[in-house]
């Protein structure tokens, strides 16, 4: 029987590439999205992957959304990829408290909510694979990203703790820390800042979305069965 994989923020950017790669590898994939209905519908038309809209920063919405996925795909979640995330970049001394809250809710609380809701059934089945998408900036910090870096660092703590709690139940929990990947999110960075960031990447370029997707595929597959609590850096050597 095909394993069911759920990808949050799974219809565009890095998440879209992850959904596609998992579907191509034979998993039954559900792609969550929140804003961007037209993009999500185009993604569905292009790939045939079912799409499900809910706000991952709201616990009740996650509960309802996961139930809908399980009903539609007639099973429970075997693989969860927590990818959804947003930025609200600004220097801390100018940061609007709403932008702090919004980023923590969307990028960190969401990961707790999704894990809290799928882990019980994974424990019952004695199988699960969870991959949380963190960031190089959760490891090293970044000017203008105190909110985002705090959330992405928080994901690493959650990942390691949940990995310890879940190992005996056959569930692996790992994180990927992408560096700068060409997406709408990095396109929005001011061009002078972008050039200065590129200069710090030993491989001399931003990464591609498929280069994150292939790492997810590895971590959820049988070849990674002894890896848990790990943080995989996929960043062109930016922070080693």
In whole angstroms, how close is the CB of 65 to ligand CAA at the nearest point? 24
- Catalytic residue check, 180: no
Does residue 186 bind ligand CAA (CB under 6 A)?
Answer: yes
> Got the DSSP string for 184-233?
HHHHTS-HHHHHHHHTT-TTSS-B-HHHHHHHHHHHHSGGGTT--S-EEE
CA distance 79 to 154: 21
Does residue 185 bind ligand CAA (CB under 6 A)?
Answer: yes
> Got the DSSP string for 91-103?
-GGG--HHHHHHH
* Stretch of 24-32, 75-83, 95-103, 189-197 lying at the interface with ligand CAA (CB under 6 A): 189-197
Does residue 61 bind ligand CAA (CB under 6 A)?
Answer: no
* Stretch of 48-56, 142-150, 153-161, 218-226 lying at the interface with ligand CAA (CB under 6 A): 142-150
In whole angstroms, how close is the CB of 210 to ligand CAA at the nearest point? 16
Report the DSSP beta bridge partners of residue 172. Answer: 129
Which tokens hold the place of 235?
């960043």
Cβ contact 178:17 at 8 Å? no
Among 43, 52, 113, 180, binds ligand CAA (CB under 6 A): 180
Among 109, 137, 146, 172, binds ligand CAA (CB under 6 A): 137
Cβ contact 117:63 at 8 Å? yes
In whole angstroms, how close is the CB of 101 to ligand CAA at the nearest point? 17
CA distance 207 to 178: 8
Does residue 189 bind ligand CAA (CB under 6 A)?
Answer: yes
Query: Which among 27, 113, 148, 180 is annotated as catalytic?
Result: 148
In whole angstroms, how close is the CB of 150 to ligand CAA at the nearest point? 12
Catalytically active residues, by annotation: 148
């Amino acid at each position: 029987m095909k394993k069911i994989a759920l990808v949050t923020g799974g219809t565009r950017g890095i998440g879209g590439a992850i959904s596609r790669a998992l579907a191509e590898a034979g998993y039954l994939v559900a792609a969550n999205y929140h804003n961007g209905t037209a993009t999500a519908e185009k993604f569905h038309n292009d790939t045939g992957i079912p799409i499900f809209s809910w706000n991952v920063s709201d616990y009740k919405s996650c509960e309802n959304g996961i139930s809908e996925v399980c009903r539609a795909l007639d099973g429970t979640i075997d693989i969860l990829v927590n990818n959804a995330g947003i930025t609200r970049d600004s220097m801390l001394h100018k940061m609007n408290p709403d932008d702090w809250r919004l980023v923590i809710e969307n990028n960190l609380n969401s990961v707790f909510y999704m894990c809290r809701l799928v882990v019980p059934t994974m424990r019952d089945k004695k199988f699960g694979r969870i991959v949380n998408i963190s960031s190089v900036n959760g490891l090293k910090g970044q000017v203008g990203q105190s909110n985002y870096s705090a959330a992405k660092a928080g994901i690493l703590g959650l990942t390691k703790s949940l990995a310890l709690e879940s190992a005996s139940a056959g569930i692996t929990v790992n994180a990927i820390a992408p560096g700068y990947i060409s997406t709408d999110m990095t396109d929005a960075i001011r061009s002078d800042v972008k050039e200065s960031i590129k200069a710090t990447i030993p491989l001399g370029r931003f990464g591609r979305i498929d280069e994150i997707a292939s790492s997810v595929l590895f971590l959820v597959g049988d070849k990674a069965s002894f890896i848990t609590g790990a943080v995989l850096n996929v960043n062109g050597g930016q922070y080693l």
